[in-house]
């Protein structure tokens, strides 16, 4: 059995919310009920923005890239497809991603950034909402040790109720 508390304690990709459209406590399945913030693919106007914890030396991979991880859900697979979510880092548009019910990796057009989503389970038995860990890998120099970065997700204007959800994980790694 996976120790979800140990997994959540290691995450560095969330420290505090900057701006949110919607909040609620949500049954994450794998991690229990957690406070969460989310954005949908409805009107393309709302944005969910947060700051990461400061980058630690052990958050830098062997290539010198910064690695940030956070707990997330993507959901409502039965809603109309056709939209996407846009990921921003430091206010700059980086890449597009969508709902995933299997682990998946998306890359920026220049291949410098990647967003991997490791699906660890589902919030409900009907498998409409996946839950897991998202890992953002940013090239060396984007953020320095001791600095945090601002991350935002914006939903497209597709009229869909599909959503991206960020879980607030209150534990600190150290």
Question: Got the DSSP string for 97-164?
Answer: E---SS-EEEE-TTSS-EEEEEEEEESSTT--EEEEEEEEEE-TTSS-TT---EEEEEE-SSS---EE
23 against 54, higher pLDDT: 54
Q: Which tokens in the block code for residue 118?
A: 């490791």
pLDDT digits (tens, 9 = 90+) for 71-90: 999 999 888 887 899 999 99
Q: Which tokens in the block code for residue 23?
A: 């909040």
Question: Can you give the pLDDT at residue 53?
Answer: 95
List residues bridging with 49 in a β-sheet: 19, 152
Question: Can you give the pLDDT at residue 2?
Answer: 55
Question: Can you give the pLDDT at residue 15?
Answer: 93
Segment 150-166 shows an average pLDDT of 95
Predicted model pTM: 0.92
What is the distance between the alpha carbons of residues 19 and 73, in angstroms, rounded to a whole number? 18
Question: Can you give the pLDDT at residue 95?
Answer: 98
Domain 4-167 grouped into CATH 2.60.120: yes
Segment 147-162 shows an average pLDDT of 95
Residue 117 reports pLDDT greater than 70: yes
pLDDT digits (tens, 9 = 90+) for 27-45: 777 788 888 999 999 999 9
* Three-class secondary structure of residue 124 per DSSP: coil
149 phi, psi to nearest 5 deg: -130, 150
Question: Can you give the pLDDT at residue 171?
Answer: 56
């Amino acid at each position: 059995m996976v120790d979800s508390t140990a997994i959540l304690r290691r995450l560095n990709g969330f420290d505090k919310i900057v701006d949110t459209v919607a909040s609620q406590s949500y049954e994450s399945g794998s991690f229990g009920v957690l406070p969460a913030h989310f954005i949908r693919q409805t009107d393309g106007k709302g944005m969910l923005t947060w700051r990461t914890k400061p980058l630690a030396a052990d958050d830098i991979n062997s290539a010198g890239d910064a690695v940030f991880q956070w707990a997330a859900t993507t959901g409502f697979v039965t809603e109309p497809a056709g939209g996407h979510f846009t990921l921003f880092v430091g206010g700059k548009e980086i890449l597009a991603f969508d709902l995933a019910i299997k682990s998946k990796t998306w890359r920026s057009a220049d291949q410098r950034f990647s967003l991997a989503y490791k699906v660890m389970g589902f919030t409900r038995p009907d498998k409409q909402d996946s839950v897991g860990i998202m890992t953002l890998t940013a090239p060396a120099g984007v953020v320095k040790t001791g600095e945090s970065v601002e991350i935002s997700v914006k939903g497209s204007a597709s009229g869909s109720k599909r959503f991206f959800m960020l879980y607030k994980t209150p534990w600190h790694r150290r």
